[in-house]
């Protein structure tokens, strides 16, 4: 049976890499993209989502989400990392399609009622849409098959502050609410994303094997890699947002740890992920009553890269 998925996304170069993987994978049925701010503003994310799907000939819906965090002013979009258009200045023609009549939260609610127990939400941007979803329909936690979140940094340092990862930093209140909810959640933090690098040679191979999907991704990756080279000394780029999709299809590539999670919502450590391993106790009250979730704490890079290439090649064939 195919995985029915909704990707909650702020496209975004690594978002495009994740969406391409979902489009290419024979075991994934992409129902929709729901959009959020982060790498770009929400209306730009919607534009980019529609453009990608039309460019790749995919009929999935696009539902626009929240335009600002739950309770704090919005941070500046990550144009430095992803370019002024979110795609590393690579031109993807605008779509003639329009967004769905429902907003992101209501779309997920409706879809979860249409396919109870079948939908996995892969959230690869700030978690504001998912927090709104919980506010509007708390029972949705029992209708979703899984929620897989790319965000946070558990045992690693952050990527926007010494302790905070970008998605959680952009709306820490939403992230904390989502991690407190009792739904089947798997977290894909920087711990599992940073060990993997898409080198220029790897991306050129993807483009060669699958020109339709790979050529624009390779062009975007050139811009993305310049940021990683200049800021981190990495010879390529990190495909953060692919991880939730890969967890569904090649779970053996990841090492897991179970525990309760919380997010710091104010002060100099805002956006920091807090983790209490399962079966342990502490005097930190922030974990009281919270469920244990699964956390992807490491990745086998060779297995991950081989799977990504295989999926893109199989689709091209």
Active site residues: 10, 240
Eight-state DSSP code of residue 271: T
**Residues in Cβ contact with 17 at an 8 Å cutoff, skipping those fewer than 6 apart:** 198, 217, 221, 239, 241, 242
What does the DSSP assignment read for 217-263?
HHHHHHHHHHHHHHHH--SSB--GGGHHHHHHH-GGGEEEEEEEEEE
Q: Which helix (H) or strand (E) holds 309?
A: helix 301-316
Beta strands in the chain (DSSP E): 3-9, 28-35, 61-64, 119-123, 146-150, 185-188, 254-263, 273-277, 293-299
130: nearest Cα among 66, 73, 184: 66
Q: Is the Cβ–Cβ distance between 84 and 218 less than 8 Å? A: no
Rounded CA separation 250/308 (Å): 10
The distance in angstroms from the start CA to the end CA of the chain is 22
Backbone angles phi, psi at 298, to 5 degrees: -165, 160
Q: Which residues are within 8 A (CB) of 199 and not within 5 positions of it... i.e. 6 or more apart?
A: 235, 236
């Amino acid at each position: 049976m195919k995985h029915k998925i909704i990707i909650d996304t702020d496209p975004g170069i690594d978002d495009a890499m994740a969406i391409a993987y979902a489009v290419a994978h024979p075991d994934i049925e992409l129902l929709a993209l729901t959009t959020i701010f982060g790498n770009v503003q929400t209306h730009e994310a919607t534009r980019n989502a529609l453009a990608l799907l039309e460019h790749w000939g995919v009929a999935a819906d696009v539902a626009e989400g929240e335009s600002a965090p739950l309770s704090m002013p919005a941070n500046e979009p990550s144009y430095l990392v992803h370019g002024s258009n979110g795609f590393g200045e690579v031109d993807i023609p605008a779509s003639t399609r329009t967004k769905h009549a429902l907003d992101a939260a209501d779309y997920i609610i409706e879809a979860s009622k249409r396919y109870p127990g079948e939908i996995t939400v892969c959230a690869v941007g700030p978690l504001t849409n998912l927090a709104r979803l919980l506010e509007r329909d708390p029972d949705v936690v029992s209708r979703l098959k899984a929620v897989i979140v790319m965000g946070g940094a558990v045992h690693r340092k952050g990527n926007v502050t010494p302790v905070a990862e970008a998605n959680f930093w952009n709306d820490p209140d939403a992230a904390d609410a989502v991690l407190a909810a009792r739904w089947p959640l798997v977290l894909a933090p920087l711990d599992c994303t940073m060990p993997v690098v898409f080198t220029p040679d790897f991306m050129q191979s993807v483009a060669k094997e699958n020109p339709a999907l790979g050529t624009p991704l390779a062009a975007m990756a050139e811009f993305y890699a310049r940021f990683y080279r200049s800021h981190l000394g990495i010879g390529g780029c990190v495909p953060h947002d692919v991880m939730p999709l890969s967890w569904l299809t090649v779970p053996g590539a990841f090492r897991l740890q179970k525990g309760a999670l919380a997010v710091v919502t104010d002060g100099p450590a805002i956006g920091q992920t807090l983790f209490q391993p399962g079966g342990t106790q502490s005097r930190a009250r922030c974990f009281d009553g919270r469920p244990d979730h699964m956390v992807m704490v490491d990745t086998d890079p060779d297995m991950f890269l081989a799977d990504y290439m295989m999926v893109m090649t199989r689709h091209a064939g």
